[in-house]
Structure 1
Amino acid sequence: MAEEISHVVEFYGINVHTNNDSDMYVTLPGYRVTGSSFTRMIYRPIDGMDVLLSQLRDQEEMYVTHRHAQARTNRESFRQSIAEYPPAARIVPHPFDALAWNWNDTATALSDYVDDSHFNNLTPFVVEGDEAFGTVCLYRQANGWRSGSWLQNPAETLVFRACCICLDDITDTPVSGLLGLQCCQHVFHRACILNWVWKHLDLPSCPACTRLI
């Protein structure tokens, strides 16, 4: 009945606003980052891929920053400009002090989310993202963990040839790169479904069948 707990840091790109957006007027490249913490519950069977049981956001807006990044030409210059201006009140929860994650990693993840088409000297932009400090609770079947009758008579895993989020082929993806859902047994790229759940935490549902997660 053992529970394995690990701490991870992830980054989720949320939006990229340009000066063409009707809800805001952008004159210079900039960024906005919100700090959040979360808890994720994962079940790992002896055979097969991990199953996402739930993901909850525990805390929001541990910090928010919005500074102009003096970048005009390419993704690397944008990354450097972000790295040079970390938020003054960036709060890293204590369990994550020992992890090798710093503001430079956040700047890299944030800049990677921006499409190359934004670096044309004609379309200023603001990119928004969440820096997420997460606690992952892993339950292994080998340790005798059970949760409800769905483990006694699990539904047949429904694997599409393509991930319905990114539309890329998943047939050759290693099991470690896939993640199934408890609610319906649909399977997706791990990164795709975690990003989907993060962006729909108010009412998380399967993107394939809309069942609540």
Structure 2
Amino acid sequence: MAGREVFPVVECYGTEVLTSENSETEINVPFYRVRGRSFTRTIFRPTEGFDLLLGQVRDEAPMYEFSPYLPLDALENRENLHQCILEYPPPENIRVIPDQFNNLGWNWYHTATVLSDYVHDVVFNNNIPFAVEGDEAFGTVTLMRQDNRWRRESWRLNAPEPMLSRECTICGDPLTYTPIDYLLGLQESNMRDIFT
């Protein structure tokens, strides 16, 4: 259908850095914890202005979860942490990635980079055991592009299915509910009013 594009994406986020001070349990050695997440997202892209997030659904159950201990070298600096995470990846039988993401060029090096970059320099300077947590998010994005059909409001004939829940993939908080019909029916001038 003209104006609609569906494609797979991979995103990765650091979610938390834990030390004995902010963890419920004492941390004696460094480790990382990574979860694989699955999500779907629908975006409307107007001819002018910003993209509008119409809806997002994240599966509650992770695709995988892995949490190995790391050598003490990981505490010294970001480069060492990155190298240690690279040397202790999830086994292939745990980190099972759907085939549709194989051609995106994403690999464990990228995930290790995101996790190590998420740790603040202060944590390394303290040289105390810590854990870094993050999510690998594998999802499908539906991009609705604006064209003449949308301006004539004949988009209603091909409107996307409403989603039952809307959550942020990064933090898991619910997104503000706005009916899809309203968002897609906005005129260009109204869109400019929203973002200016």
Common fold by TM > 0.5: yes
Of the two structures, which has the highest relative contact order with CA contacts closer than 8 Å and spacing of 6 or more?
A: 2
1:62-101 equivalences in 2 (<5 Å): 62-70=63-71, 71-88=74-91, 89-101=94-106
Question: Equivalents in 2 of 1:32, 1:52: separation in Å?
Answer: 29
TM-score (normalised: structure 2) = 0.74
Query: 1:19 and 1:133, CA in 2 relative to 1: closer, same or farther beyond 3 A?
Result: same
Residue identity matched to 1:78: L
Q: Conserved in 2, the CA contact under 8 Å of 1:17 and 1:125?
A: yes
Q: Is the 8 A contact 2:119 2:132 kept in 1?
A: yes
Deviation at 1:21, TM superposition (A): 2.3
CA spacing shift, 1:130–1:79, aligned 2, 3 Å: same
Residues 34 and 60 in structure 1, CA contact (< 8 A), matched pair in contact too: no
Which deviates further from its counterpart, 3-12 or 51-60? 51-60
Task: For residue 199 of structure 1, report the CA deviation from its aligned partner.
Answer: 4.0
Aligned to 2:185: none
Number of positions where the alignment pairs a residue of Structure 1 with one of Structure 2: 160
Shift of 1:201: 3.1
Once the two structures are TM-superposed, the CA of residue 200 in structure 1 deviates from its matched residue by 4.3
CA separation of 1:131/1:45 partners in 2, compared to 1, >3 Å: closer, same or farther? Answer: same
Secondary structure at the residue paired with 2:59? strand
**Paired residue type of 1:64:** E
Match of 1:28, SS? coil
Q: Which has the higher helix share?
A: 2
Aligned AA (1:201): G
Identity of aligned residues (%): 49
Distance 1:143 1:112, change over 3 A: farther
2:33 equivalent to 1:19: no
Q: Aligned to 2:168, which of 191, 197, 211?
A: 197
Q: Residue 35 of structure 2: SS of its match in structure 1?
A: strand
